[in-house]
Structure 1
Amino acid sequence: MKHTSSILSVIIFLICFSCKKEELPINITTEDYHNSVDKLTEVMIHDIFSPPVASRIYAYPNIAAYETLNQNNASYKSLGNQLNGLTKLKSEKADASTNLKLASLIAYIDVAKELVFSKERITAYRDSLYSNWKTLNHEDFNKAKDFGLEISEQIIAWMNADNYAETRTMPDYNIYTDDPSRWEPTPPAYMKGIEPSWNKLRPFVLDSAAQFKPITHPKFSLEKGTAFHNELMEVFNINNAIRAKGDDSEEIAMARFWDCNPFVSVNKGHFMFAKKKITPGAHWIGICKIACKQTNSDFEKTVYAYTKTSLAVADAFISCWDEKYRSNLIRPETLINKYIDLEWAPILQTPPFPEYTSGHSVVSGASSEVLTEIFGDNFAFDDTTELPFGLPMRSFKSFRLAAKEAALSRLYGGIHYRAAIEVGLDQGIALGTLVNAKISFLK
C-alpha cells in the first residue's frame, strides 16, 4: 500500500513538473496595446481633461512603453539622450527571457495611472490584467513586471520634472483690460482661459516653446476693408450661408466631426453640464490606431507609431499655446455679438482660450506629418474615430488632406479666423517636420 502511494506521489510530481516546464510566455498582442490606449482615452473623457493636458497624458505612457520595449532592440533606438531631459535609462532587471511586450504594457499602465484624476479606474483595469497574467504564467509575469516598473519609475521621475506641477499654481489669465483686441470668456459658460502657462512646460522635441513662433495675425481693426475686418466678416457670412443650407450640409458635418471640444456646455433649464468628447489630440491618436490596424503593424511598430504621434501632439500644444497667450486675440463670436449681431452664435461652441493660432490646425499639421513619415503619403483611410460620439465615418485619401479638413472645419464652425487656420497649419507642419528630422527612432 505504501509502495503504491509512493508511486502515485511520484507520478503527480512528474505531471506537475512537466506542466510547469511547458508553460508558455504570456502572449501580448497589438490589440492589447490598443485596448490600453483606449482605456486611457475613456478615463480622460470621464475626467474632462483640457486638450493641452490630455496631450501630456498620452505622451508619457507611450514613451514608457517604447523605452521598455527598445532598450536593446535591433531595429528601434532608445529615446534616451534624444528627448529633452531624458537621459539613458537604467535597465538592470531584464535578460534574454524577459517578456518585453508584457513589460512595455505594464510600464504604459503604471505611468498612465499617475496622470489621471480617476486613478482607481486605471488601477482596476490593471488589476484585472495582472490577475489574468499571473494565472497564465506567474514567473513570466513577475519578470516582466519587475522590468516594466523599473522603466516606468524612471519615466515618472523625468515626467515630474517637466514643470507641470509648478504651472498648477501660476496666475490665471487676466480678463480685465481696455484692449478691444484681447480675448475674453465666451458663452455659454464664460469659462476662464485654460492653461495660460502651458508654454512653461518642458517640450519633448522643441528647443523652446517659441521655436516656431508664427507670423503676427492681421492687425486688429474694425474698420471696413482692413484685413482683420475682412476675416471677421468672412466668419460671419460663411456661417450664415452654411446655416441657410440646412443642418445636413457638408460644412456642418465637417465642423461637427472635428469639433473635439471637451468643454461643450449644455443648458437644460436651470442646469448646466458638460457634454463629454475627445480632444483633438485624442482624435489623431485614434487615426494612428486606424493606420496601425489597417497595415497590420506588429507590436513594435504600433508602439513606435503611438509614441511618435503623441510626441508631435504634445509639442504642438506647447507651441500653439505659447502663441495663444502671446497674441491673446479675441474670438469672432465676441466681436460679432458686440458690433454686428447680438443674437449670432457660431455653429460650434467657442472653446475657452484665445483665438490665434488654431489648436486644431497646429495639432493636425504636426500629426499628419509624422503619420505620413511612418505610413506613407497617399495613405487612404476611413476615419471612424467619432463613431462612439454619434458622428458618421469620414474618408480621406491622406493624412495631410485630413489635416487640411480639420483646420478648415474651424472656419465652418465659426470659431476661428482664416489666418489662425492657415498659419496654424503651417506651424504644425513645421513642428512635425522637426520631429521627423530630429528624433531618430529607427536604427
Structure 2
Amino acid sequence: MKKILVIVLFLAIAGELFSQASAPLNKRISYTTDAYPLHRAQKALTDVIVHDIFSPPVASRIYVYANMAAFECLAAGDHNLGSLHGQLSKFPAIPAPGKEVVSSVAAIHAFFNTAKQLVFSEKRLMDSAAAVLKWYKTKSVGPKQLAASEAYGKLVSDSILKWVAADNYKETRRMKRYNLLKQPGTWLPTPPGYMAAIEPHWNKIRPIALDSAAQCKPAPPTRFATDSSSAFYKEAIEVWQTGKQLSTEQIAIASFWDCNPFFLNTQGHLNFATKKISPGGHWMLITALVCRQKLADIKTSAAAYTIVSAAIFDGFISCWDEKYRSHLVRPETFINSNIDESWRPLLQTPPFPEYPSGHSVISTAAAGVLTSIFGDNFAFDDSTELEYGLPVRHFRSFKEACDEAAISRLYGGIHYRPAIENGQTQGRQVGEIVLQKLKLNR
C-alpha cells in the first residue's frame, strides 16, 4: 500500500512539473530552480519591448546588453563561467564581488539597470523589477546582502553601459533617413501604412562576435526581371500561387511566426497598431521555455540567454547589411505591378527591403546555438504565442522550429524562396561564429 502511495505521489509531482513546463511563461510559478527571477525578468523586459514597439533590430540590442550584464555578475563570482572580458574587444574587466554580494541578486539588478537605459517605459520595467526582487526576501537573503548585491549589480551595469555607448547606436540616430532608389526592382513602401524603411544604417552597429557586418554576406538575390520566363518572375509566381491556395496548416504556421511589431489595423479612416513580439523576442521566450523545461539553474540559464541573444543581435546586423545592399522589392509590390493588382499577402509586409529574410536568419542562428546547448532532438511545446491568441505548437527539435519559421515567410507572402533558403545559410554561419567566439562555460 505504501509503495502505491509513493508511486501516486511521484506521478502527481511529475504531472505538475510537466504542466508548468508546458504552460505560458506568465502563468508559471517557481518550483525548483534559482533561475526563476531571471525568467521573470526576461518576460518583464519582453512585455516592455512589445509595449514600446521597438523594431526587431533594436529589440535585439536591448536583449543582448541586459543579458550580458546579468551574466557578468554571475561570471565574476564563478570561475566555471567565462567572462566576456578578453573575449570581446574593449569589453570591461568586472571586479570580483564582495563577501556580502549574492551573485544571483546582483545579476537581476544588473539586468534591470541595464535594460532601463535602453527602453522608453522605464517606470513600467522597474515596477516589474521590484516585484521580481521580492522573491529573494522569501529566500533568507538578509538586508546587508540585498544592499551589497544591488550596489554591485549597479557597478557592473554602469561599467557595461559605458561599453554599450560605443556601439554606434547613437550615431545612427543622427544619420539620414532612407532615400528611395529610382531603379527597377528596388524596395518601395508597402500597404497599408506605407511606412518608411526601418534601420537603414543598422550595419554600422558594432557586432558582438562577427568581425564585421559583411562577414556572413549571402549570395546575391536573383537578378530582377519582369520577363515571364525569368527566374525572378517565377519566384514571384510561386509566392502568388502559394498565397492563393494556402492550407489551414500553412495559415496557422504563417500566423504563429508572424512576429510583426509594426502590424497596423485599418478600419476606414481609423488606424491603430496591434502589438506583438519581435522574431528575436519569440526566440528569447523559447530559450526561457526550454531552460524551465530542463530545470536549468540561473548560471546555465544566464549563459543560454546571453549566447542566444548574441546570435540574434549579430544575425540582425548581418541580415540588415544585405537588405540595404540589395534593396530588393517585396513580393507584394512586384505581384501587384506585374501579375495581379488585387493580390494581398496573408501577412502584412514589414517596412524594409526583402532580401534576405530576417526571420530565417535569426531563427536559424538562434536554433543552432540552442542545439549546441540542449542537443539535436530537444522536443518542446512553444506556448509563446498563447497570449496573442494563437495555440501551442509542438516541435521535435530547434531545427524543426527554425525551418518552420523560415518557410512561414513564403506562406505569409512576404518573401521569395531565395531570401528564405539563403537567409538560413547566413543564419547558420552567424550561429557557428557566435559559438566559436563566445566561450561562456569553461
Q: Does TM, normalized by the shorter one, top 0.5?
A: yes
Could you tell me how far apart the structure 1 residues matched to 2:405 and 2:344 are? 20
- Give the SS at the match of 2:341: coil
Are the counterparts in 2 of residues 84 and 205 from structure 1 also a CA contact under 8 Å? no
CA positional deviation for 1:147: 1.0
2:223 equivalent among 219, 222, 232: 219
* 1:4 matched residue in structure 2: none
* 1:426 matched residue in structure 2: 425
1:178 correspondence with 2:182? yes
* 2:296 matched residue in structure 1: 297
* 1:14 matched residue in structure 2: none
- Give the SS at the match of 1:70: helix
1:69 equivalent among 65, 74, 77: 74
Q: Deviations over 1:49-78 (max 9, x none)?
A: 000000001000100000011014132110
1:362 correspondence with 2:348? no
CA positional deviation for 1:28: 8.7
* 1:409 matched residue in structure 2: 408
* 2:392 matched residue in structure 1: 393
Are the counterparts in 1 of residues 108 and 133 from structure 2 also a CA contact under 8 Å? no
Amino acid at match of 1:47: D
CA positional deviation for 1:126: 3.0
Could you tell me how far apart the structure 1 residues matched to 2:186 and 2:95 are? 48
1:233 correspondence with 2:232? no
Could you tell me how far apart the structure 1 residues matched to 2:213 and 2:94 are? 25
- TM (norm. structure 2) is 0.90
* 1:22 matched residue in structure 2: none
CA positional deviation for 1:86: 1.0
CA positional deviation for 1:131: 6.8
CA positional deviation for 1:127: 4.0
Residues 28 and 126 of structure 1, relative CA distance in 2, 3 Å threshold: farther
Are the counterparts in 1 of residues 332 and 349 from structure 2 also a CA contact under 8 Å? yes
CA positional deviation for 1:81: 1.8
Amino acid at match of 1:60: Y
Amino acid at match of 2:42: V
1:99 correspondence with 2:108? no
Residues 142 and 54 of structure 1, relative CA distance in 2, 3 Å threshold: same
Could you tell me how far apart the structure 2 residues matched to 1:140 and 1:314 are? 34
Amino acid at match of 1:184: L
Q: Deviations over 1:348-367 (max 9, x none)?
A: 00000000000000001100
Could you tell me how far apart the structure 2 residues matched to 1:80 and 1:396 are? 36
Q: Deviations over 1:159-187 (max 9, x none)?
A: 11111011011111111x33121101000
Are the counterparts in 1 of residues 41 and 129 from structure 2 also a CA contact under 8 Å? no
Q: Deviations over 1:192-221 (max 9, x none)?
A: 000000000000110000000011111001
Could you tell me how far apart the structure 1 residues matched to 2:33 and 2:396 are? 32
Amino acid at match of 1:104: A
CA positional deviation for 1:88: 2.2
Q: Deviations over 1:281-329 (max 9, x none)?
A: 0000011011101111011101111111000000000000000000000
1:125 correspondence with 2:128? yes
Are the counterparts in 2 of residues 50 and 194 from structure 1 also a CA contact under 8 Å? yes
Are the counterparts in 2 of residues 84 and 203 from structure 1 also a CA contact under 8 Å? no
Residues 110 and 241 of structure 1, relative CA distance in 2, 3 Å threshold: same
Could you tell me how far apart the structure 2 residues matched to 1:228 and 1:210 are? 24
* 1:111 matched residue in structure 2: 114
CA positional deviation for 1:132: 7.3
2:147 equivalent among 128, 142, 146: 142
Could you tell me how far apart the structure 2 residues matched to 1:334 and 1:154 are? 46
Residues 225 and 435 of structure 1, relative CA distance in 2, 3 Å threshold: same
Could you tell me how far apart the structure 2 residues matched to 1:124 and 1:412 are? 40
Correspondences of 1:219-298 after superposition (within 5 Å): 219-242=223-246, 245=247, 249-298=248-297
Could you tell me how far apart the structure 2 residues matched to 1:28 and 1:70 are? 18
Amino acid at match of 1:384: S
Correspondences of 1:344-359 after superposition (within 5 Å): 344-359=343-358
Residues 130 and 257 of structure 1, relative CA distance in 2, 3 Å threshold: closer
Residues 160 and 271 of structure 1, relative CA distance in 2, 3 Å threshold: same
Could you tell me how far apart the structure 1 residues matched to 2:129 and 2:222 are? 50
- Give the SS at the match of 1:382: strand
Runs of 4+ in 1 over 6 A off after TM superposition: none
Are the counterparts in 2 of residues 28 and 101 from structure 1 also a CA contact under 8 Å? no
* 1:208 matched residue in structure 2: 212
Please report the RMSD computed on the Cα atoms of aligned residues, expressed in angstroms: 1.5
CA positional deviation for 1:96: 3.6
Could you tell me how far apart the structure 2 residues matched to 1:428 and 1:228 are? 23
Count of paired positions: 409
CA positional deviation for 1:125: 2.5
- TM (norm. structure 1) is 0.90
* 2:434 matched residue in structure 1: 435
CA positional deviation for 1:133: 5.7
Amino acid at match of 2:162: A
1:168 correspondence with 2:167? no
Residues 98 and 178 of structure 1, relative CA distance in 2, 3 Å threshold: closer
Instruction: State the structure with more CA Rg.
Output: 1
Which segments of 5 or more consecutive residues in structure 2 lack a partner in the other structure? 1-31
Q: Deviations over 1:131-171 (max 9, x none)?
A: 77679621111111111111011111111111101101111
- Give the SS at the match of 2:76: coil
